[in-house]
Structure formats: structure tokens, C-alpha cells
Amino acid sequence: MKKIQTITLLLLLSMVFRVAKAQEIPFSKAEISVSAEVKKSFERGGRILLHLTKQREKEPRLKSEMVIGITPAGWEGSVPFQLDAQTKNILVYTTEKNLPLAKEKYYYQAVYKQNKDDGQENVPGNLYSNIDSVMIAPNAQLKLTLNKLIPPVEIVDHKFVKSVVIQSRFLSEFSGRARFLKASVLLPSGYFKNPGKAYPICYRAPGLNGRYNAVNNQMSNKDFTDWWFTESAPQVIYVFLDSQGPYGDTYQVDSENNGPCGKALTEELIPEIEKLVHYNPATKMRYLTGYSTGGWVSLGLQIFYPDFFDGTWSYSPDPVDFSHYGLIDIYQDSSLFYNKFGYLQPGKRTIYDEPTYSMKEWIAAENTSGRNGDYRISGGQFGAYNAVFGPKGADGLPSLMFDPVTGKIDHAIAAQWEKYDLKKVLEKNWSTLGPKLQGKIWIWTGDADGLYSNVATRFLKMYMDSTKNPKSDAKISFTPLAGHCQEWSDKLLLKMVADKAAAK
């Protein structure tokens, strides 16, 4: 089983990995400097992430067995920064049960997370180094130069693909700096032949931290394009949204930490897109879809804006009931790391119900990635949840819903998540929301969801089945032994959207 541990590093002028009762494997030095060619792109206050791996198939920054994280205070980048493990804020994350052994060869690479508008690591604006290798030994030296800048995202150049990038007044005013909204549009095969036709439009919310260049993947999929550009393919305008946010995925909703993202989406970005493609709002054919995080987003937007959107197809959504946040009840349980029986809380599993990753391990990984040494600015799943659903803290950062080291839940903060608990929102507002949501909700999930998200969906279904005045007609289905997003299909989804539009 994989193990992730936060390890205290004890070095004098060298780097040593140490675990209680385990041998020490030292590096004499680890120097990181910024080269002249990217110095002008350097921003103070970023996070250095040093990746080590025994595998050579991928760059270490994309997949590694070990990550060392530190935010060097006051580092200007003009002189080499030497890692000193006596510094208390160094964290280590490893997926290996045993730490590196002497005489083992490791490939290594460093990333400098500095993009303040994007919580992720391998995103435009961040710096990274070349790949090098080292044989683990007492006299080993790791010296890296951050000489590469991750470039901006580009959208495929194609007649049927459009991109929209606008500066958001709402988000810029909230943040005190320019922030942008982005989307890409895939037009249907008959679009240019029928300029006056009223087409349905479907907004696809991405999976966690997805970007608007997802359209590139669709256009590089020959099976999809061979189908899409036929006359018999669904005549739907397909829009790929972007979830970039300072703390990770924004979930496309208004929040205290990310700003008025839902308002910006519905009042700034969507009107701009629909003006570009000549969508007619009077047709009432504005739909939503998405899987995983996008599954939550598509369902959440339909619930929060029931008159604005005309139907949603939500696949394998993130927890829609925070009493079943995976296997955790954030309102009643005392810890995110241990269940009420005292056992380590699993966070991931196989379709055969074998736990593969604990919540404690998951948070340790995000703590290592976070600029301030905890999950709030990790850019990961729980950094995103915490920023979207929770209040702003006194220090200007999102308030911690649970302690990053002990896992203890702060129930005062957890209670403030309720306004994003979709099941609770429906329960409290069914008399007004119920009539507006009739004929608009389709949800699918696998009953062996790898993140246990199906549990929350089960409880949502029980509630929806119990509703009256009106009795909900939401279609919620489960596939036995199917995992997270296992049955997602753009083709199937677009056919259902087209059928719904045709039935109007």
C-alpha cells in the first residue's frame, strides 16, 4: 500500500531524509537558482517543489515518488537558494513505503509555483528546471536552475473552434488585480450552412482544475471528430469552461475567497459567448454538463440558477451532501483522518472496495504543495473545497475547515459550508426550487466510485424520491461495480442534449 508521510528533515548544511528508527540517506547540498533568461518572470513568495523519481518515462514534475516543498522567505531569485533542512517549514511527501536507499539512481526536477491566479503547479507562469539525475550517496549534490517558463495555453486553430477570453470586472474588482474568464466553443457541423438556425447550447464544466483547452483533446480525437462533423451528429453548440482560481478550482460559484465566480459566469462570460455564436436565450435551450468536479458544478449551477439554465447532466459528481463527504460527516465527525471507530479514513478505493489512499495521506500531499505549508493554497482537491465552501479567515486566506496536521474538524467553519451543501439547499428551498427544477436534472454515478462520492448521491436520491409538491422527476441512476466517471461519454451526452432540445 502506498504511504505518504510528512517527514521532519534534520540537516546541518546538507539534506537528509530521516524517518524514526530508519537509516539516514544524505545529500550534501541542494541548490536552486534562477537563470538570467527567466529572471524577469520571477515573482517573490513562490513555492519550490523538488521532485524525485526512479522512473524516466515522464518528467518528475508530472509524476514522482517524492516531493520536497519549501517557500523560501525573502528569496529574490538572483542568488542560489540552498535548502537547509533545519528550517521547520520544509515538508516531504512520498508515495513509497521506504525512503530512497543508498546507491539508488533518482531523476529530479524543480518547479517554482508563483502564479497567484492559479493554485496548481504545472500551469502557465510557473518556472521549472531541466531534468537531472543523482545516485543517492552521502556526497551527492543536487543543483538545479529554474530556466524554463510554462507558456500560456493555446487553443487549436480550426474553423469550428472559437475561444473567448475577457477581463472580468467583477473578479478584478474583488481581487484588486486583473482576472480573466476563458472558454472555448465547438460549433456543430451545420453551423455555417444554417446561419439563422436556433441551436441549443451546452456548457461543459471541467473535471478538477480543468482548462478551456479541453477542446484540443476533442479535436485530436479522430473517433469523435469523424462523428461530430457528419450531418447526423447532434447540432449542439458545445462550450468548454475554465475553472482557474487562486486556490484551485473555483467550482464556478460565488465564494468569499475566490470572489463572485457564479455572477461573473452568468453575467459576463456567458453573454459574451452567446453573442459570439448568436444563441437565442428565448429558445430556453441553455444546458449544463460535467463529470467529477464538473458533475458537482453542473448540478450546483442548475440549482443556484434554476431559471437561467434549462437542464443538467451530472456525471459522478463530487459530494452533493456534506453529511456524506466521501465517508465523512463534516457536521458530526470529529476528524477527517480517522472515522468514528478509530480507523484510518480511506479517501480512495478500487471498484472492489479495496482502500488505496487515506485522507491523512491525501492532505499530507496537499500540505507539501501549499505555499504556506498547508492545503489552503495547494491547488488540489481539498484546497479548492476549502476555498469555495468556507469563509475567509482573519489572515485573508481561506479558513481551515480541519487542521492540516491532526485532521480535527472545526465545526463552526463546517457549519458555514451548508450553503453549498446541495442536498441541504434543496431541502430548505424545495417549495420554490422544486417547480423550477422539474424536467431538468439527470445524474449518473458508479456505485463503486473511487472517491466514495456515490454515497452522497445515494442520500440525495433518497431525498429527491421523498419530495412532494412537486414530486421530483430527477433521473438519478447508479451502475454496479462502475468507478469514478467510468461511463462518461461526450458522444452520449451530446445525443441526450440534442434529444432534450428536440422535444421542446
Q: Is the pLDDT of residue 30 over 70?
A: no
Mean pLDDT of the chain: 90
Q: Percentage of residues in the chain with pLDDT exceeding 90?
A: 80
pLDDT of residue 142: 81
105-113 and 127-129 as β-strands: parallel, antiparallel, unpaired? antiparallel
Distance CA 245, CA 380 (A): 11
Read off the pLDDT of residues 310-368 as tens digits, 9 standing for 90 and up: 999 999 999 999 999 999 999 999 999 999 999 999 999 999 999 999 999 999 999 99
Structure confidence at residue 22 (pLDDT): 26
Residue 25 pLDDT exceeds 50: no
The arithmetic mean of pLDDT across residues 33-45, rounded, is 79
Task: Quote the pLDDT of residue 4.
Answer: 27
Arithmetic mean of pLDDT, 118-127: 94
CB neighbour class for 151 (10 Å; exposed up to 12, middle 13-18, buried from 19): exposed
Is 255's pLDDT higher than 60?
A: yes
Return the half-sphere exposure (C-beta side, CA atoms, 13 A cut-off) of residue 118.
Answer: 23
Helix 293-304 / helix 422-437 crossing angle, nearest 10 deg: 50
DSSP structure string for 166-192: EE-HHHHHHHTS--EEEEEEE--TTTT
- What pLDDT was estimated at residue 86? 61
What average pLDDT score do residues 369-376 get? 94
As given in the structure block, the three cell numbers for residue 109 are: 526536477
Distances 292 to 115, 135, 303, 334 between C-alpha atoms, Å: 25, 40, 17, 26
Residue 238 · residue 494 · CB < 8 Å? yes
Q: Which residues have C-beta within 8 Å of that of residue 394, sequence separation ≥ 6?
A: none
pLDDT score for 55: 87
- Element holding 111 (H helix, E strand): strand 105-113
pLDDT digits (tens, 9 = 90+) for 292-307: 999 999 999 999 999 9
The domains located in the chain, with CATH, are 15-149 (2.60.40), 161-321+421-502 (3.40.50.1820), 323-419 (no CATH)
> Quick one: average pLDDT of 240-254?
96
Which cell is 163 given?
475561444
Residues facing 239 on adjacent strands: 185, 203
Instruction: Give the residue with greater pLDDT, 254 vs 1.
Output: 254
- Which CA distances in Å does 168 have to 134, 174, 210, 301, 379? 46, 10, 19, 19, 21
Is the pLDDT at 175 greater than 60? The verdict is yes
pLDDT score of 81 more than 60: yes
The grid coordinates listed for 21 are 528508527
Beta bridge partners of 163: 184
Residue 404 pLDDT > 70: yes
Distance CA 32, CA 4 (A): 25
Share of the chain above pLDDT 70, in %: 90
Q: What are the cell numbers at 209?
A: 482544475
pLDDT digits (tens, 9 = 90+) for 195-246: 889 999 999 999 999 999 999 999 999 999 999 999 999 999 999 999 999 9
Confidence of residue 17 (pLDDT cuts 50, 70, 90): very low
pLDDT digit string (tens) for 455-482? 999 999 999 999 999 999 999 999 999 9
The answer to whether 22 and 69 have CB atoms below 8 angstroms apart is: no
Find out whether 239 and 184 touch, Cβ atoms under 8 Å: yes
Checking if the pLDDT of 189 tops 80, the result is: yes
How much is the pLDDT for 90?
87
pLDDT tens track for 257-297: 999 999 999 999 999 999 999 999 999 999 999 999 999 99
Alpha-carbon span 131 to 105, nearest angstrom: 13
Helix/strand number for the chain, H first, E second: 12, 23
pLDDT at position 14, please? Answer: 33
Give the Cα separation of 437 and 338 in Å (integer).
37
What pLDDT was estimated at residue 15?
36
- Measure Cα distances from 255 to 174, 386, 389, 435 in Å: 11, 10, 7, 26
How confident is the model over 21-28, as a mean pLDDT?
37
pLDDT at position 384 is 97
Mean pLDDT of 49-61: 91
- Of the candidates 192, 236, 203, the residue with the CA atom closest to the CA atom of residue 495: 236
Q: Average pLDDT of 150-175?
A: 97
Residue 101: phi, psi to the nearest 5? -100, 150
User: Mean per-residue pLDDT for 61-89?
Assistant: 84
Confidence of residue 31 (pLDDT cuts 50, 70, 90): low
What is the DSSP code (8-state) at residue 476?
E
- Cβ atoms of 266 and 401 within 8 Å: the answer is no
What is the distance between the alpha carbons of residues 499 and 489, in angstroms, rounded to a whole number? 16
Q: Which residues pair with 167 in a beta bridge?
A: 180
Interatomic CA distance for residues 368 and 32, integer angstroms: 18
pLDDT bucket at 1, cuts 50 / 70 / 90 = very low
Using CA atoms, how far apart are residues 337 and 362, in angstroms rounded to an integer? 10
Grid-cell match 543536487, residue found: 142
For the cut 70, the answer to whether the pLDDT of residue 436 exceeds it is yes
Reported confidence tier of residue 19, pLDDT bands at 50, 70, 90: very low
The pLDDT-based confidence of 132 (bands split at 50, 70, 90) is very high
Please give the Cα distance from 295 to 293 (Å, whole number): 5
Considering the entire predicted model, what is its pTM?
Answer: 0.92
The mean pLDDT of 98-115, rounded to a whole number, is 81
